[in-house]
Structure 1
C-alpha cells in the first residue's frame, strides 16, 4: 500500500467536506464525466473552464493526490495552464476536472479514429508501391519495393535494400500472424527478387567482393551506377532478418525444404557479409555520414544472433559458432555508443553532429524482443537507456520547429531525423514521429507483461517529464504509481500519433516529411517506409508484438573482438605489374592481420618468377573486406605506392585472384 503526500510547498488543506463524502463524490464525478465527455468536448465553453486566474489545479485533500499527478500530465497545451493554487469552490474543481477528462477522452478517441481509418490506407499504400501489380509501381519487377513513385523533387523511383527489407518484414509479420493470408505470393516474389539482386554487380562490387553493401538499385533490378553514399551495411542484415522471420514460419508449418533450399542461400550470403564487415565503416541509414552507426550495428547484431539460431534449426550447423562469435563482438561494440554523461545513445561515431538522432529509436524498435524485458545491453524499448535516449532525442526538436511552439515539455511534438538536418529545409518526418510512439507502446507491452516497472537514475528524467513526482524505484503493476506512470506514457505515446494525424492530409497519403513551419506534406510523396512505419505502430498500440529473436539474457563479453569470418579462409592470389631496378623488390601489406596490419617492416614479399608481374598466394579470411597496398624496398629505402588504399572483399569460398598495376 502506497502512502502519497502532497509536497510541503503546496497550499494547506482547505476542504471542509468529510473525507468519505469527498471520495464518493469524486468517484461519481469521474464516472459520469467520461460518459459526458463527448458532449462537453463539443458543447462546453472551454474558456469558462480554463479562464481561471490560477495555473494548476491543486487537489486539496489527501485522497485526491494521485489525481493531482494525473492532472499534472498534459494532454493538450491548454491543460498546462493550471497552476498550484487552491480553487475558490468545488464547482471550479469539477469544471476543471470535467475539462481534463474531456480532453483525455478526445485525444484517445481521435487517435482511435485515426488508427481505424489510416490502417487500410497505409496498407494499401504499401502494396501500391510493390511490383509488378502495385498501382503506383509501374515498371518495377515482381517483389521490388519502390521507395516512392516520386520521379522529381526528389526522384525516389528506385529500390533500396534497407527500405525493402523493413517493408517486407512488416508484410511477413502480417502474413505469419494470420492477419492477411493473401500476402504469400508477394512474399515469395520478394524472395525471388532478392536472389537476383544479390548477384547484380554494382559500384560496390560483385556478390563476392562487396556488392551486397550496395544500397540502391533501379526498379528493374539493374545496377544504379550514379554517385551515392556507398556502401551501406544495414541492408543485408535487415534482409536476413525479414527472411528468417519467413523461414521460421515455414519450418513451423511443415515447409522446411523451401526454407533450406531457397531462403537459406540468400540468408547465408547476407549473414556472411555481415559477419565479415560489421567492423568496417559505411554510410548510415540517412546516407550522409560514413562512420560506424548504431542502427547498423544493432541490426547486424540481431541478424547474426537469429541467423545462428535459424541455421541450427535447419541443420546448417557449420556456421553457427562463427555467427555467434561475431554477434558477441558486435554486442560488445554496441556498448561503446552510449554517452553516459548526456544520457543518450550516440547515433554515429563520425559526422560532426550531436548524435541525437532517430537512428537510435529506430534501432530500439527494430531490435525489439518482447522476451528480453527491459534489457539495456540490447537497448530494448523499455530499458532505462532507451527511454533516456528517447527523451533527449525528442527534446532536441521542441524549440526548432514552429509547429512545436507553445507545446509544453510533457506533451508530444513533431520530430525529424536529427536537429541539424537541412535536407529539404530540415523538417519533421512521418516515420520518425511515428517511431517514438511505437517505442513507447512496445515499452508499455513489456511492463504489463512482466507486471512491474523500474525507474532508475538513468530513466528518471524521462518519467519526471510526464509525472513530476516520479521517483527511482520498482513499482508492481498492482501499485497506484504503476498505473499513474503507464497511463502517462500511454497518453504521451498517443500524442505522437495525434501529431501524425494532425498533419496527415484528409486522403491519408503519407509523404516523407511535413514542413516545420506549417505541417504541410513535402518531399517524396507516398513514401513506402512512412506507410509501413504507421502499420507497425498501430499494431504495437494494440499490443501486437514481433516474435522473440534471442536477445534475452545476453552477456557482453569481457573482451571485444575486432571481427573476422569465424575461422573459414580462402586462397587469394595477388598479382601486380611492376618494373623494378636490379635488387629492388615488391612487398604487400594491408589492414588485416593476414596482411601484417600495415607494417612495412613485416610486409609480405612477392615472387618475381613471372617478372614484371609479381605474385603471392595467401590464405585470407573468407567474406572479409580489407584494404592493402604494395610497397617497394631497395636497400634501406621503402616506397609506398600512391593513394588511395586498394580495397577488396574475399569470396565466401573457393579461390580468387586480384590483378593490379603499380601506381
Structure 2
C-alpha cells in the first residue's frame, strides 16, 4: 500500500467490553497452521474479534490510548507500519457495524459509543486540513485521515478521498432510522441530521470528480466510492422526507451516480473494472469491487445487476474473476482449483509489503456469497445467466442458463455448493490465523505467516461481518429496489451544496427501545448448559458482558423451510415475525435435526420466546403454546446453551 492505509468494516450482532489488555505484537503473531472448520473457528473467533474491534476505539478502548472519545484507530501499531490514525472511511464503517449491532440487540454502552462517535464527527467535520475546510464549499470533508486527538494530519497523502462522507452519512442515517422507529425523531432532527446534511451536500457536489481510491493509491474514479455515494444519496433522500427536511438534489444526483456506476462493468471481459478515469496499467481486477457489493448489499433487494447486488450475475461473474486472479500468484493457493476457496489479496499487481493476501478480502469473498444466499432464499429462486454461467459451472459442471425455483433439486445443488464455497473462504482464514485469535492486515503469500499491522480493526470487522451474514443477521434495507433503474441518458453534473458547522449534541437520557412485548401465555422451562471464560496472559479476554445465548432447537424440517426465533425483546424482534432471527441448519443431519443460533443479551434479561417455521413462500407457522421463558445469567457466564424441541 505504499505506506498508505485505510480501514473499512462491518459487524455482527454481538458486544463485548472495550478494555482488553494486549499482549506484545511478537506473541500475537505467533503462528501455526491449524485446520479448523468455519463453524468451530467462528465460535471462538467472533468474541475475540469483537473485543479487539472495540478495544481500538477511544477513549474507553485500552488499545487506543490517547485517542479522543468516539475516535477509531486503524491499528495500535505505531511503527512498521504506523497506523495509529483515524480515517473518516474507517470510522464510518466501524460505526455502521456498531449501529447494526445495537439495533439487533439494545445496549446502553453501545449507545453511548454511538453518541460519542457522532459528537466526534461533528468536531472532525469542522477541522481545516490540507484538503480544505467546511466553509470552503465543504472541501475539507474529503480529507481521508486525522490524528487521533482530533487535529489535522498535514503530511503528504493521497487526497482527497471521496468515499468517507458517503459512508459516514450511511452510518448516521442508520442510527437515525432507529431513533425515528422508537419515537425519538427530534433527536435525529436536531443532533444527527446537521452532520448528515453536510456529508450529503459533499456527495451531491463532488460525486463525479476524481479522487483517491479506498487503497489510497489510484487517483481516478473508484467503483467502491461511486457505489456507496449512490447508496448514501438514496438513503438520505428518504430520511429527509421523513424528517421534513429538504434535499432537492439528492434524488437527481443519485440517479446520475447510478448511471455512471454502469461504466465500471466491462461486458467484454466479464468483470467490474475497479478504477476508471486513470491510467495505472493494471487489469482492474480488485477486491475493491467485492467490498463495493457487500457494503451496498440490501437484504430486501433483488438480484439487480445495475446496483451489483451480491446475487446479481455481474457480482457473481466478478467474484470468479477476482478470486481466480490470485490462484496462480500465491504459493499458498497452489493446486486449489476454480470453484474452491482461496486466499484473496487486493489486486494481482499489488507489491505493498510483498503483495499478499489480506484477511479482510478473503472474508469479503465469503460475505458476498453469504449475502447472495440470503437473497436467493428470500426470492425463492436462483437465476443463471450467460454472464454468471462460468461462476456456477465451477460449482456444477452440468448447469445451464435458466431460473431454478427453490423447490427444484438444481436449486438445492447450487445453494449448497455456494454455501460450501463461502465457508471455504472462512476456512482459509481459519487455517492461517494465529491460534490466539489475533488478525493482522495480511498473511504471507508463501507460508501464511501474519504480516504488516497487527490487530487491524478492519480485519476483525470483516470477520464479524462475514459471521453475521453466515448466521442470517442482516442490516436495514437502504431502498435499493426503488433506486435500481438506470436513466436512459447519463448527465454527469453536480449540485452545489450548503455547509454549516454541526455542534456536539447534548443527548437526551433514556432513549431505549419502545417496541411492544407481544402476547404471552404460560411459560415453559428450558434445559441449559453454561460456560464461562477466564483470561490468562497468553489468551484473548472474552468479556463477561453481555452473555451469548445459543438456542438449540430440535425440529424436523423440509427443504425450503427456515426456523426462526421470535420473542419479547428487541434482539428477538419484539414478537414481529418480520424481525425474527433465523437459526442455522449447518449442523442438521438425518439423525440430529438441529437448528441453532447465538444471540447476545444483557445479563439478567428475562426473555419469552417461541420458534416459527417460515416456508419458502413466506408462510409462517408458530409452534404450540406455551411460550418459552429464560432468564439470562446475571453473573458467572459468558455463554450459555438453551435446549428446546418444537412444541406441537
* TM-score, normalised relative to structure 1: 0.69
Q: Does 1:216 align with 2:133?
A: no
- Structure 1 residue runs of 5 or longer lacking an equivalent are 1-105, 571-663
Deviation for aligned residue 1:182:
2.9
Structure 2 equivalent of residue 448 of structure 1: 377
Query: Which residue matches 2:236?
Result: 307
Map of 1:561 onto structure 2: 491
Deviation by residue 1:445-493 (Cα, 9 ceiling, x = unmatched):
1101111010000000000011111110000001000000010000000
Query: Which has the larger displacement, 155-164 or 176-185?
Result: 176-185
Would the aligned equivalents of 1:325 and 1:566 in 2 still touch at CA under 8 Å?
Answer: no
- Structure index of larger Rg: 1
Partner of 1:121: 48
* 8 Å Cα contact 1:441/1:490 also seen in 2: yes
Distance apart, 1:563 and its partner CA? 2.0
Distance 2:457 2:499 in 1: 40
Q: How does 1:25-424 map to 2 (within 5 A)?
A: 110-178=37-105, 180-209=107-136, 210-316=139-245, 318-319=246-247, 321-349=248-276, 350=278, 351-424=280-353
1:295-327 C-alpha deviation (Å, 9 max, x unpaired): 0000000000000001111110x21x3100000
- For the aligned residue pairs, the C-alpha RMSD in angstroms reads 1.5
Contact 1:326 1:566 in 2 (8 A): no
How far apart are 1:404 and its partner, in Å?
A: 0.4
Matched, 1:506 2:435: yes
Shift of 1:208: 2.8
Instruction: Report Cα offsets for 1:193-243 as digits up to 9, x if no partner.
Output: 000000000000011331000001000010000000000000000000000
Matching residue of 1:486: 415
Please identify runs of 4+ aligned residues in structure 1 that moved more than 2 A.
179-182, 566-570
Alignment partner of 1:538 is 2:467 = yes
Q: Do 2:201 and 2:499's aligned partners in 1 also have CA atoms closer than 8 Å?
A: no
SS in 1 for 2:404: strand
Alpha-carbon contact 1:131-1:137 (below 8 Å) kept: yes
Structure 1 counterpart of 2:454:
525
Q: Is the contact between residue 304 and residue 324 of structure 1 (CA under 8 Å) also seen in structure 2?
A: yes
Instruction: Identify unmatched segments of 5+ residues in structure 2.
Output: 1-33, 501-648
State the SS of the aligned residue for 1:466.
Answer: coil
Q: Is the 8 A contact 1:361 1:435 kept in 2?
A: yes
Distance in 1 (CA, whole Å) between partners of 2:295 and 2:427 is 22
Kept in 2: contact 1:278–1:563 (CA 8 A):
no
- Partners in 1 of 2:135 and 2:441 — Cα distance? 34
Deviation at 1:561, TM superposition (A): 1.7
Q: What are the within-5 Å matches in structure 2 for residues 579-598 of structure 1?
A: none
1:515 matched to 2:428? The reply is no
Query: Contact conserved, 1:275 with 1:563, CA < 8 A, in 2?
Result: no
Deviation at 1:179, TM superposition (A): 6.0
Structure whose residues are more often helix by fraction: 1
C-alpha deviation, 1:514, in angstroms = 0.4
- 1:285-304: per-residue Cα shift (whole Å, max 9, x none)? 00000000010000000000
For these two proteins, the number of residue pairs brought into alignment is: 462
> Structure 1 residue 409: deviation in Å?
1.7
In structure 2, how many angstroms separate the alpha carbons of the residues matched to 1:469 and 1:182? 52
State the distance in 2 between where 1:569 and 1:151 align: 35
Displacement, 1:181? 4.7
Instruction: Normalising by structure 2, report the TM-score.
Output: 0.70
Secondary structure at the residue paired with 1:292? strand
Question: Structure 2 CA distance, aligned partners of 1:169 and 1:449?
Answer: 24
CA distance in 2 between counterparts of 1:489 and 1:181 reads 38
Structure with bigger RCO (C-alpha 8 Å, 6+ apart): 2
